[in-house]
């Protein structure tokens, strides 16, 4: 155990992991909507840092670009449009009975996974492996080209679907939808 602390990587890991968990916790318990979103940003940024620690540079950068750059913005838009009560607001979460139940379930889940992992892997080590973008690209377009195409279709569908779902229906007499 003391070996673990002697390595620099592990310190770096701790510095990244702890804020991440804390931020995540705050994200789900905050009474302020915007605060929740911002805490999510912290968590996501921390996960990108973890990826860097592991040597997956391309994935880290993609997380920053897509997740933080696009998804979170989307969330903010969503909040605005649905007129979520901004600022501190009372009832963003359920009553405490629900909270206890949920806490139990999630706690049990966490315990389960942890125990299983520790029992399974024990002291297994890994070493960071810097992965270059061109390796990713190579693999993507050789081995995973079909899932790649499928995902692009999914994105297309989401694009079209989103537009279709969110537009206002034209009322008789109105002009055509913009």
Partner 1 sequence: MMISQFIIVGAALFSLGVYGVLTRRNAVLVLLSVELMLAAVNINFVAFDVYVNDQIAGGQIFSLFIIAVAAAEVGIGLAIVLLIFRNRHSANVDELDLMKL
Partner 2 sequence: MLALLTNVNTLILATEEGGQAAEALSDGGTLASLAWLIPVVPMVAAFAIVFFGKRMPYKGWDIAIAVMGFEALYGTLLLLSHISSPIAKDFSVEIAKIGNMPIEWGWSVDGLSIMMYFVVGVVGFLVFVYAKGYMEGDVRFTWFFASFTLFAGGMLVLVSAPNFIQLIVGWELVGVASWLLIGHYWEEHENSSAAIKAFITNKVADVGLFVGAIMISMSVGSFRFSDVMHAIEGGAAEAPVLAQFAFWGGLALFIGAMGKSAQFPLHVWLPDAMAGPTPVSALMHAATMVTAGIYLIGRMFPLYAVEGFADEVRWVIIIVGALTLFLTGLIALVQDDIKKVLAYSTLSQLGYMMAAMGAGAYTAGLFHLFTHAFFKALLFLGAGSVIHSVHSNNMSDMGGLRKKMPQTFWTFVIGSAALAGIFPLAGFWSKDEILASFEYAGGHYTTAQGGAALGTAVLWIAIAGAFVTAFYMTRTVWLTFFGTYKGEAHPHESPKIMTYPLVGLAIGAAFFGLINMPGITEVFTDLVGGRAFAGFHDLEHHADGLNLVLAFVGTLAAGLGIYLGWRIWGPDRATQAERDTFRVNGLYPVLENKYYIDDFYMDGVIRPIRGPMARAVNWFNGHVLDFIVNGAGLLAKAVGRLVYWFDQRGLDAAINASGAATGAGGGALRLLQTGKVQQYAILIFAATVILVAGLVIWF
Write down the least CB distance from residue 106 to partner 2, Å. 8
* Contacting residue, 101, 137, 162, 170, with partner 2 by CB under 8 A: 101
Smallest CA-to-CA distance from 52 within 134, 130, 137 is with 130
Note whether 70 binds partner 2 by CB under 8 A: no
Query: Are 55 and 67 in contact, with CB atoms under 8 Å apart?
Result: no
Q: Figure out which of the listed residues 29, 98, 114, 138 binds partner 2, where binding follows CB under 8 A.
A: 98
Closest to 107 measured CA to CA, from 43, 32, 25, 36:
25
Ramachandran angles phi, psi of 56, nearest 5°: -95, 85
- Smallest gap from Cβ 105 to partner 2, in A, equals 5
Residue 17 CB, nearest distance to partner 2 (Å)? 23
Q: Among partner 2, partner 1, none, what does residue 123 contact (CB within 5–8 Å per kind)?
A: partner 1
Residue 68 near residue 45, CB atoms below 8 Å: yes
Residue ranges that bind partner 2, judged by CB under 8 A: 94, 98, 101-102, 104-106, 108-109, 112, 115-116
């Amino acid at each position: 155990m003391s070996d673990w602390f002697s390595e620099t990587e592990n310190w770096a890991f701790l510095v990244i992991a702890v804020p991440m968990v804390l931020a995540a916790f705050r994200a789900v318990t905050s009474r302020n909507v915007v605060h929740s979103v911002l805490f999510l940003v912290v968590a996501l940024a921390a996960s990108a840092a973890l990826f860097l620690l592991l040597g997956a540079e391309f994935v880290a950068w993609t997380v920053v670009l897509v997740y933080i750059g696009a998804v979170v913005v989307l969330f903010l838009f969503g909040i605005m449009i649905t007129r979520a009560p901004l600022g501190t607001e009372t009832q963003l979460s359920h009553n405490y009975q629900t909270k206890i139940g949920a806490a139990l379930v999630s706690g049990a889940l966490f315990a389960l996974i942890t125990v299983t992992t520790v029992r399974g892997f024990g002291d297994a080590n890994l070493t960071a492996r810097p992965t270059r973008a061109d390796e990713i690209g190579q693999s993507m377009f050789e081995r995973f080209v079909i899932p790649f195409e499928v995902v692009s279709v999914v994105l297309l569908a989401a694009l079209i679907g989103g537009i279709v779902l969110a537009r206002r229906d034209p009322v008789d007499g109105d002009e055509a939808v913009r």
